[in-house]
Chains A and B, each alone.
Chain A
């Protein structure tokens, strides 16, 4: 429905219109005055994105365009070139316009882009704070490793910190920094790990499967699980396995590179394994209990997760569940659509740390 069409009167993508740092607010105001009656400005949040390099900035500008189709926001894109020879700061403004669901009038969101050259990380809090749309929550998407030490000045003002633990080179130290940032603003900050979002649809499918009382009875008797994951997505699979362990009250007994053993609440051993296979981040999950197996899997070309359940007495059941999408923009849109809290994620992360 929302075919992207942009009014001729608003400067749109590319990097946007170059502006002097001190004139950004004035230029944004002028931008909206140009639009006249053709467009409505909408914003439900400030979405600040931190990334490194010009390529990432171009890619993020395209991402923002897609995000604003469903999540009206003021986007603040901060690109850094830490190794640039000449230090300096440049800024641009632009608009992303889409036809709204409501009708023919376009809905537009503004983007402010900054390029920070040289060792200018200290400027980030000021750049973010001075260009926020007031009273709207601040979501910070940190694309890259967290700096050590974490910047308390910044984190204490962030409502949601978005990151992707899949990209962490050193998960243990990053996890430590994450907890440190959380400690700076325990009441405000909500953590959103896109690697956790990657397993959202499989988790929902598992959850929906075991809503059936006949199936839920098997949860306490599971003795093994196998998760297949795409290349580079072992941490996604480990988080998913860790979630199962945390929700079902399993204690880790031993952990290896490709699996782990847990002790269930009844004292039984539960073996878990993760295997790499070409395909989606999470390709399949197989849970086994005495006399019953539950397999949730993707098939090529399908936009659904399939459930196959083999139950005692030779009964079989099959269902389809939405599989979601794996692209980065789909993950972020999914995350922004959810009024997330992170208690269950932190439980899973704690278990996952032991598996790493």
Chain B
């Protein structure tokens, strides 16, 4: 069901499992087609953390500046440190002024800040949850939030169980009739399949799956949302979007940054768990999925899960053949020398953690039979960029393409960040009497074509969570399916299944280890140059 719209835009989401049907608003018709966020209280656990200051509060402020914040919306920050509402608001304002997408305006901030409160408590303190419940009831009565609560766990996963247990004990996981209670969970969703399953059991013991929103901020990015539009709103791509016409797909996420003080986290994670299990497999799913029957959350996520289930497992000796892991050594970024990973702060000097990984992934279904998806992610690479490149098969070498090699292939590139856009490489005849063919590029840049800046991913995702639209959030079976694919690779690396593949080193500022190039060279292909 979609709201009648004069605005004429679609949302990648449905008319949802919002709340009960309350009096309808005929004035809404024609002004917006997106699901309407409901009045609610957002309770942020870990309110003194970086995520709250840099992402969540600025996102809520920007939603307010766009006029999309539901009436009565209230934010309660739950954290350990003693702090007054006023101090909390001042700290948030200072941070928002530095990072907000839209400039902070005094008048709006004052109004917005009045809806922000601080609740000091240890996560372990039962009394803190009881007083939180009282506070939320009072807010409902005074601010009209109608018993709707969005609990945002902006904390490390090892705190989830503790907080969820206390929420359950305080009865905060159960909404009153006609209201709702939802939980938003930040990644990492586990470190392997057993921990993910345990985490999901823990979360779903307190909140049912329909009220669980797992954030993967990549899905909130405008260009990630545009993948489905590109594929299913244009007639020209989908007929070619299969193994008959596509040679291979490359998904790249590169960044020049190192671990930036996050050594201990990265040591326990590595590139495969940190990026591939979630963000890059999500992008792969959007590229590879079948058209959903409609745009409801479960229809879209059903199709993504089918892709994950079709991934050909990489295990045992296949890991060495299909996966390359690397770690950056000392080198240079932007002309400045940088240390190697093992020399980074709080990193084991003998660390075996990968900062680069390249995989050859096959999807065993009708559409993608024998089409490799090459996925690579790395730190301390020369350039920042996340993109998907669809390389089409060579045109017959009958008339013009004799000896052209891969330069003759059409490539459709979807740039996720930065410089979001889409380009298509095609062959053209160079001017002149002789037939000389050169590749040319048709290039669309969001920044050039649309003067309006995209909202931050967190803005879209918070709005969707308040509206009950889970389309852009990962479902339990997606997360567990992704771990089911990743775990055997980790197992092979760490010797559980025997025969550890090597860890290859690459100088910071290069495009990764040579072995990653060989991974494609074996298939007579090369990585795209970003």
Contacts and interface: CB of A to CB of B under 8 A. Distances in A.
A36 interface: no
B334 interface: no
B105 A303 contact: yes
Nearest to A302: B107
B7 A339 contact: yes
A340 B6 contact: yes
A207 B28 CA distance: 5
B229 to A, nearest CB: 13
A268 to B, nearest CB: 16
Contacts of A321: 67
Interface string A208-237: 111111111101100000000000000000
Contacts of B67: 201, 204-205, 208, 321-322
Contacts of B68: 208
B234 interface: no
A25 to B, nearest CB: 19
Interface stretch (A3-11, A51-59, A312-320): A312-320
A116 to B, nearest CB: 30
Contact of B445 (A100, A248, A319, A341): A100
A286 B66 CA distance: 22
Contacts, number: 129
Contacts of A303: 105, 107
Contact of B71 (A71, A248, A319, A339): A319
Interface string B58-78: 000000111110111000000
A304 interface: yes
B419 A103 contact: yes
B144 interface: yes
B242 to A, nearest CB: 27
Contacts of A220: 23
A185 B67 CA distance: 35
A212 B6 contact: no
A247 B26 contact: yes
A147 interface: no
Contacts of B6: 340-345
B451 A211 contact: no
A317 B451 contact: no
Contacts of B65: 322
A209 B23 CA distance: 13
Nearest to B24: A216
A330 to B, nearest CB: 13
The interface centre, meaning the residue of A217, A303, A339 with most chain B CB atoms within 10 A of its CB, is A339
B22 interface: yes
Given A214-B146, A302-B107, A304-B108, A248 B72 contact: no
A211 B28 contact: yes
B31 interface: yes
Interface residues of B, number: 45
Contact of A344 (B22, B30, B108, B451): B30
A249 B5 CA distance: 18
B448 interface: yes
A211 B111 contact: no
B39 to A, nearest CB: 6
A17 B143 CA distance: 61
Contacts of B25: 207, 210-211, 216, 219
A120 interface: no
A208 B5 CA distance: 15
A29 interface: no
Given A101-B447, A214-B146, A247-B29, A319 B111 contact: yes
B144 A70 contact: no
B71 A209 contact: yes
Contacts of A215: 71
B31 A207 contact: yes
A338 B7 CA distance: 6
Interface string B23-51: 11111111110001001000000000000
B239 to A, nearest CB: 20
A94 interface: no
A154 interface: no
Contacts of A102: 418-419, 445-448
Given A207-B25, A211-B28, A317-B72, A71 B451 contact: yes
A211 B37 CA distance: 9
B23 A217 contact: yes
Contacts of A60: none
A206 interface: yes
Contact of A337 (B66, B71, B452, B453): B452
B28 A70 contact: no
Given A42-B449, A102-B448, A340-B7, A317 B26 contact: no
A107 interface: yes
A322 B66 CA distance: 6
Given A208-B67, A210-B27, A214-B146, A320 B111 contact: yes
B8 interface: yes
A44 interface: yes
Contacts of B419: 102-103
B9 interface: yes
Contacts of B453: 101
A166 interface: no
A213 B8 contact: no
Contact of A341 (B5, B28, B108, B449): B5
A72 interface: yes
Given A72-B449, A304-B107, A342-B6, A214 B144 contact: yes
A189 B140 CA distance: 47
A208 B447 contact: no
B70 A219 contact: no
Given A216-B24, A344-B29, 13 more contacts: A100-B447, A103-B419, A103-B447, A207-B25, A212-B71, A212-B72, A213-B23, A338-B8, A339-B9, A340-B6, A340-B8, A342-B6, A344-B30
Which 6 pairs, one residue from A and one from B, show the smallest C-beta to C-beta distance? A70-B451, A102-B447, A213-B22, A344-B30, A339-B8, A101-B447
16 contacts: A70-B452, A102-B418, A102-B446, A203-B27, A207-B32, A210-B25, A211-B36, A211-B70, A211-B71, A212-B70, A214-B144, A304-B107, A322-B65, A337-B452, A338-B7, A338-B8
